């Protein structure tokens, strides 16, 4: 490929070079827009700018324009009010797509002259939640980013060739920024502007390009099911995954379908890339990354992606092999004390996930009366089958028995929460504070509404039945079934949220229960209200049959 150094991207416009698609942007247009932005920022006297743009090409323009004007850039992780409040004193301007902020099209001044960027004076601040959930600000120089994109090209540039880069991850964070924006910009590879969060979107975009590569997260890759056109997708040049651990079964499934192992990247906002692997337990450090360990076994990292002479002290325990590759052993900052005993949460999570019933597990401390452990679980298909046919108590007692081979009795979880999926944040992480909040929360009493549509006054809702629904425990303990009275209550409550219904329940008609609704099921709820008769018609259906149906009689409050 025709490589342009990152610091020279604004030095000479190359209109023949396509940067992004949908809509198309060439390198000449990129340069002009970035240099216009630079002139506008200088005219306004801006020195520090926060940027949040979901369009990857717009982000590229904003970064290059800011750096040309020697404006420092902050990339916040979101635009929530508390995020804005936290960083408002640190910036002169917010450049976003939201009303009230500055927008790219606001800057139409004559462009600054083309020039090479200064790798040391151009800076970028990244925001990360860290393991505790408390926001952190991480400073980078352009020199560090240059070093990293050049290393990526040396390692995988030949394999990628002219591949269009298609991503499911946000560009506000280091992985998406490097792999979806800066690296393809330098290499001359086109990239898709939008973050594609669903497998079907990834497939649709892939079919538009003869050569393509994916920059994805474990959250997306483990959701890629049999409904996709795998023979067509197997043309993918490389599948990158980062932001968390990719489950082994998901990696194996991708290998079988694509005839290649996904390329997993291990790193952080602080360190940049540390290592990579394909289909194996051991990680291969990037060429210029030097690893040592402290007395506790934590990785110490020296890297050209860090400030000069800085050694990053991580909380990742590892075993380094003689050939320099290493195996991760869990996070040292997730070792807790119960009754003066040190307990490794990652070790127990690995032990739980070794059981056939568990797909994912996260443990935390429950601070009630005396402290104990709790577990968030995503069940495998076998685990869901066990829950449906043996009940919650049998499932948790079996897992406690399994875990007792790995720990003392005081470390056995006393509280269990069964989830459809772990609620990872935009960075693919689940902060420990969120784990512990979920463990303290009561078990759910309502379904998860996945989708809802309205046609001529009739509503159709796609509902997911939580595997840990509170009503399953008493109905029935060993064979959990969704009670009929709960189905009626859900229909009425959801109907009242969506339609202008009379508030008073007055009775039922033609109530039928034909199929059981079980933990983990997905069902469609159809709702229609006849105001002349005061009747709400409802029906729950699974993929093959009607589960239940009936009519709810409703009256005005003063009737």
- Strand blocks (E) in 369-425: 370-379, 415-419
> For position 121, what pLDDT does the model report?
96
Q: DSSP state, 102?
A: B
Name which of 54, 282, 285, 301 is nearest 180 in CA terms: 54
Which of 90-104, 146-160, 204-218, 331-345 is the least confident region?
A: 331-345
What average pLDDT does this structure show over 554-559? 77
Element holding 152 (H helix, E strand): helix 142-160
> For position 296, what pLDDT does the model report?
84
Please, what is the average pLDDT of the chain? 93
Classify residue 376 by burial, with Cβ atoms within 10 Å: 0-12, 13-18, 19+: buried
Element holding 186 (H helix, E strand): helix 183-187
> For position 63, what pLDDT does the model report?
98
Q: DSSP state, 472?
A: G
d(CA 390, CA 502): 41
Q: What is the pLDDT of residues 444-471, one digit of tens each?
A: 999 999 999 999 999 999 999 999 999 9
Residue 200 in this model has a pLDDT that exceeds 60: yes
Q: How many helices (H) and strands (E) does the chain have?
A: 15, 29
| All residues at 6 or more sequence positions from 235 whose CB lies less than 8 Å from its CB, including other chains | 206, 210, 211, 212
Residue 424 in this model has a pLDDT that exceeds 80: yes
Query: Chain-centre distance of CA 10, in angstroms?
Result: 32
What average pLDDT does this structure show over 12-27? 95
Residue 42 in this model has a pLDDT that exceeds 50: yes
Give the global pTM: 0.73
- What is the DSSP secondary-structure string of 377-390? EEE-HHHHHHHHHH
Is residue 292 left, alpha or beta, with left meaning phi > 0 and alpha meaning psi from -120 to 50?
beta
Range list of H helices, 259-366 = 345-353
The three-point CA angle 531-532-536 to 5° equals 45
Residue 133 in this model has a pLDDT that exceeds 70: no
Percentages (nearest 5) of helix, strand, coil residues in the chain: 30, 30, 40
> For position 128, what pLDDT does the model report?
78
- Check: CB of residue 417 under 8 Å from CB of residue 375: yes
Percent of the chain residues topping a pLDDT of 90: 82
What average pLDDT does this structure show over 433-452? 95
Residue 81's CB is within 10 A of a number of other CB atoms, namely 7
Check the CA dihedral 439-440-446-452 and report its sign: negative
> For position 132, what pLDDT does the model report?
46
Q: What is the pLDDT of residues 373-387, one digit of tens each?
A: 999 999 999 999 999
User: If pLDDT is split at 50, 70 and 90, which confidence band does 336 have?
Assistant: confident
CA distances from 46 to 42, 72, 90, 404 (A): 6, 9, 12, 60
For the chain, the residue count is: 559
> For position 129, what pLDDT does the model report?
58
Burial 203-234 (b: 16+ CB within 10 A, else e): bebbeebeebbbbbbbbbbbebeeeeeeeebe
| All residues at 6 or more sequence positions from 323 whose CB lies less than 8 Å from its CB, including other chains | none
Percent of the chain residues topping a pLDDT of 70: 97
Residue 80 in this model has a pLDDT that exceeds 90: no
Please report, in angstroms and rounded to a whole number, the separation of the first and last CA atoms in the chain: 77
- Check: CB of residue 130 under 8 Å from CB of residue 57: no
- Check: CB of residue 283 under 8 Å from CB of residue 259: no
Q: DSSP state, 92?
A: S
> For position 244, what pLDDT does the model report?
81
In a 3-state reduction of DSSP, which class is residue 126? Answer: strand
β-bridge mates for residue 138, sequence order:
126
Name which of 277, 361, 281 is nearest 318 in CA terms: 281
d(CA 282, CA 272): 19
> For position 248, what pLDDT does the model report?
87
What average pLDDT does this structure show over 289-308? 94
Element holding 498 (H helix, E strand): helix 484-498
What average pLDDT does this structure show over 477-494? 95
């Amino acid at each position: 490929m025709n490589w342009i150094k990152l610091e020279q991207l604004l030095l000479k416009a190359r209109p023949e070079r396509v940067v992004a698609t949908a809509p198309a942007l060439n390198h000449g247009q990129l340069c002009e827009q970035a240099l216009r932005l630079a002139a506008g920022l200088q005219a306004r006297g801006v020195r520090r700018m926060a940027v949040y743009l979901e369009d990857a090409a717009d982000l590229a323009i904003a970064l290059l324009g800011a750096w040309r004007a020697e404006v420092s850039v902050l990339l916040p992780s979101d635009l929530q009010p508390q995020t804005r409040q936290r960083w408002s004193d640190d910036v002169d301007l917010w450049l976003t797509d939201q009303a009230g902020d500055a927008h790219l099209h606001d800057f139409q001044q004559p462009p600054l002259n083309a020039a090479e960027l200064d790798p040391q004076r151009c800076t970028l601040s990244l925001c990360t939640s860290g393991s505790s959930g408390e926001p952190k600000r991480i400073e980078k120089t352009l020199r560090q980013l240059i070093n990293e994109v050049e290393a990526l090209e040396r390692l995988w540039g030949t394999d990628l060739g002219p591949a269009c880069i298609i991503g499911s991850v946000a560009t506000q964070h280091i992985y998406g920024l490097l792999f979806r924006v800066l690296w393809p910009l330098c290499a001359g590879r086109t990239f898709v502007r939008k973050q594609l969060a669903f497998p079907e979107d990834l497939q649709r975009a892939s079919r538009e390009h003869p050569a393509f590569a994916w920059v994805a997260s474990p959250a997306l890759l483990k959701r890629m099911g049999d409904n996709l056109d795998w023979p067509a997708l197997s043309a993918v040049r490389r599948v990158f995954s980062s932001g968390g651990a990719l489950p082994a079964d998901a990696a194996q499934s991708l290998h079988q379908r694509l005839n290649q192992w996904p390329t997993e990247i291990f790193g952080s906002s602080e360190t940049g890339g540390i290592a990579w692997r394909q289909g194996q337990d051991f990680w291969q450090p990037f060429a210029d990354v030097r690893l040592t360990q402290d007395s506790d076994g934590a990785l110490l990292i020296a890297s050209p992606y860090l400030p000069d002479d800085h050694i990053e002290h991580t909380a990742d325990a590892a075993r380094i092999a003689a050939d320099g590759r290493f195996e991760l052993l869990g996070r040292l900052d997730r070792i807790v004390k119960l009754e003066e005993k040190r307990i490794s949460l990652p070790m127990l999570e690995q032990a739980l996930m070794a059981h056939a019933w568990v797909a994912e597990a996260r443990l935390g401390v429950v601070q009630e009366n005396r402290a104990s452990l709790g577990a968030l679980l995503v069940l495998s298909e076998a685990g869901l089958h066990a829950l449906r046919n043996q009940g919650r108590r049998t499932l948790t007692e079996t897992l406690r028995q399994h875990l007792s081979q790995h720990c003392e009795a005081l470390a056995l979880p006393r509280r269990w929460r069964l989830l459809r999926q772990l609620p990872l944040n935009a960075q693919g992480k689940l902060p420990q504070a969120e784990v512990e909040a979920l463990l303290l929360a009561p078990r759910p009493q309502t379904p998860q509404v996945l989708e809802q549509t309205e046609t001529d006054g009739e509503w159709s809702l796609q509902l997911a039945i939580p595997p840990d629904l509170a009503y399953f425990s008493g109905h029935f303990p060993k064979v959990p079934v969704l009670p009929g009275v709960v189905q009626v209550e859900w229909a009425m409550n959801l109907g009242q949220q969506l339609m202008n219904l009379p508030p008073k329940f007055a009775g039922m008609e033609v109530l039928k229960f034909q199929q059981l609704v079980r933990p983990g099921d997905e069902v469609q709820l159809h709702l229609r209200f006849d105001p002349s008769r005061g009747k709400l018609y409802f029906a729950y259906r699974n993929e093959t049959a009607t589960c239940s149906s009936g009519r709810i009689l409703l009256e005005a409050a003063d009737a």
